[in-house]
Structure 1
Amino acid sequence: MSASDNIERTLTGRVVSNKMDKSVTVKIERLVKHPVYGKYIRRSQGQEG
């Protein structure tokens, strides 16, 4: 495994909820092209941390 295989990817998102002291839910959105129509669609993923 070379050094270029271990590159970390930084994700940016928006804080959706901050209910407790140490927990936060972040919504990460990405644009995906529709396979048939070609229109870009927003796909979202929730991360807790």
Structure 2
Amino acid sequence: TQDVFVHMETLRVAGIPELQPGQALRIKIGEGSKGPQVAEVELA
């Protein structure tokens, strides 16, 4: 597995108020200014 940055605004737009440890997500990764980051997210 690889760590990927997710911005709180991306979660808010997806209707996810907070993440819990171990919570399963479906994500699409894009390239951010400092490397890979979550571009789209939804609960799995």
TM-score w.r.t. the length of structure 1 is 0.25
Larger radius of gyration: 1
Bigger helix share: 2
Bigger strand share: 1
TM-score w.r.t. the length of structure 2 is 0.27
